[in-house]
Amino acid sequence: MERRSHIYGVLAEFATPEELIHAVEKARADGYRRMDAYTPFPVEGLARAMGLKRNMVPFITLLGGLAGGLGGFGFQYWAAAISYPQNIGGRPLNSWPAFIPVTFELTVLGASLCAVFGMLALNRLPQPHHPVFNVSRFAHASSDRFYLCIEARDPKFHIAETARFLQGLHPHHVSEVTDD
C-alpha cells in the first residue's frame, strides 16, 4: 500500500491522435475513470471520449461582461450627473447616448479578462510542476506524441494491472509516473 503513495500513475505514449482516442475509449470501457490525456494540439473527439461536460468558462465570461457594462454605464452616469455635474455645452447631465461607447468597451474588457483568467484559474494554471513532467519522454507531449495517463487515484488502479492493460493497447511506450 505505501509504495502506491509514490506512484502518480501510468503513462502510455501513442503516435497518432486516433490511437489515443481508441485507448481512452478502451480505458473507460474497462472502467477506468481517473485518467488524463495529453496532446500537442486539441484533438477533436478526445474530450467526448473522456466524457468531459460543458465547462464554466462561458458563464464566467458572461458575468465579467455584465459587470463591465453595468459598472461602466453606472460609473459614467454617477460621474457626469451626480458626483461632478457640469453644464457641458448645454447638453443634459445624463447625455446617455454619449456614454454608450465607453460602456461597450468596458463590457468587452470585462468579458475578455474574465474569459482568460477564468480559464487559467479553472486549469489551475500557472502550475510550474506536475508529476508527468518527471517522465523524460513527456517532452514530446508538446511536439508530436499523444499520451494517456491513468492515475493512481483511480479505485480500479493497480500498477501491474494497469500497465498490462495499457500495453494491450499497443502504445509506443509505457512508463510509470512517480510523484517526485
Partner 1 sequence: MDEQLQSEHDDDRPGIDVHLKDLSSIDRPLDLATVRAKLRSKTGKQYWRTLEELAGDPSFEELLQREFPRQAPSEWDESVDRRDFLKLMGASLALAGLSGCGRVPEQYLVPYVKQPDGMVLSEPLFFATAMTFGADAIGLLVESHEGRPTKIEGNPDHPSSLGASNIFAQASILNLYDPDRAQTVTKAGEIQTWSQFIDAAQAMAAALRSTRGDGLRILTGIISSPLVAAQLEAVLTLYPLAKWHQWEPAVGDGPREGGKLAFGRYVNTVCRPEKAEVILSLDSDFLASGPGNVRYMREFYRRRKLNQSADRAGNEMNRLYVVEPTPSVTGSSADHRLPLRYSEIEPFARALAAKLGLGGSGKLSPATEKWLDGVVKDLKKYPGRTLVVAGEQQPAEVHALVHAINAALGNVGTTLYYTDPVEAHPVNHLESLGELCTDIDAGKVSTLLIVGVNPVYTAPHDFDFASKLRFDEKLKTKKIETVIHISQHFDETSQYCDWHVAESHYLEAWGDARAFDGTVTVVQPLIAPLYRTHSVHEVLAAFTDKPGLSAYDGLRARLKAENPATDFEAWWRKTLNDGVVAGTALPPASVSLQFNPASLPPLKPSSSDELEFLFRPDPSVYDGRFANNGWLQELPKPVTKLTWDNAALVSPKTAEKLNLSYTIPSRGGEHGQVLSDVIDIALSGSKVTAAAWILPGQAEGVVVLPLGYGRKNAGYTGTNKGFDAYVVRSSKTLWASPAPISVIRKTGDSYPLACTQYHFNMEGRHILVTANLDEYRKNPNFVNDRAEPPREDDTLYNGRAEFPYERNKWAMSIDLNSCNGCNACVVACQAENNIAVVGKDQVMRGREMHWIRVDRYYTNTESSTSGKSTGDPSQYQPALENPEAFFQPVPCQQCENAPCEQVCPVGATVHSAEGLNDMVYQRCIGTRYCSNNCPYKVRRFNFLRFQDWETPQFKLMRNPEVTVRSRGVMEKCNYCVQRIDKARIAADKKNQPVADGAILTACQQACPSEAIIFGNANDPNSRVAKLRAQLRNYSILPELNTRPRTTYLAAVRNPNPELENA
Partner 2 sequence: MSAGEPPINSSEIRRLTPVLGPGHTFGSVTDKISSIVLTRPTSVGWYVGFLITFSFTALLTIAMGWLFTKGVGIWGINIPVGWGFAIVNFVWWIGIGHAGTLISAILFLLNQKWRTSINRFAEAMTLFAVACAGIFPLIHTGRPWMSFYMFPYPSTMGIWPQFRSPLIWDVFAVSTYGTVSLIFWFVGLIPDLATLRDRALTKPKQIIYGMLALGWRGSVRHWHRYQSAYLLLAGLATPLVLSVHTVVSFDFAVAIVPGWHTTIFPPYFVAGAIYSGFAMVLSIAIPLRKAYGLEDFITMRHLDNMAKVMLATGLIVAYGYFFEFFMSIYSGNKFDLYLVEQRIHGPYSHFYYALILCNILTPQLLWFYKIRHNVLILFLMSLVINTGMWLERFVIVVISLTRDFTPSAWGRYQPTFWDWATFTGTIGFFVMLLFLFVRVLPAISIAEMRELVAETAEAD
User: Cβ 2 to partner 2, closest distance in Å?
Assistant: 27
Helix axes 96-122, 57-77, angle to 10 degrees: 150
d(CA 47, CA 26): 14
Amino acid, single-letter form, for residue 169: L
Tell whether residue 104 is a contact of partner 2 (CB under 8 A).
Answer: yes
57: partner contacted, choices partner 1, partner 2, none (Cβ within 5-8 A by kind): partner 2
Residue among 3, 41, 44, 89 that touches partner 1 (CB under 8 A)? 89
Residue among 6, 142, 161, 178 that touches partner 2 (CB under 8 A)? 142
Residue among 45, 58, 74, 92 that touches partner 1 (CB under 8 A)? 92
DSSP 42: P
Residue among 4, 122, 161, 179 that touches partner 2 (CB under 8 A)? 122
User: Cβ 159 to partner 2, closest distance in Å?
Assistant: 22
d(CA 140, CA 147): 9
- Give the HSE-up count for residue 160: Cα atoms under 13 Å, Cβ half-sphere: 1
Tell whether residue 127 is a contact of partner 1 (CB under 8 A).
Answer: no
Q: Cell 494497469, residue?
A: 162
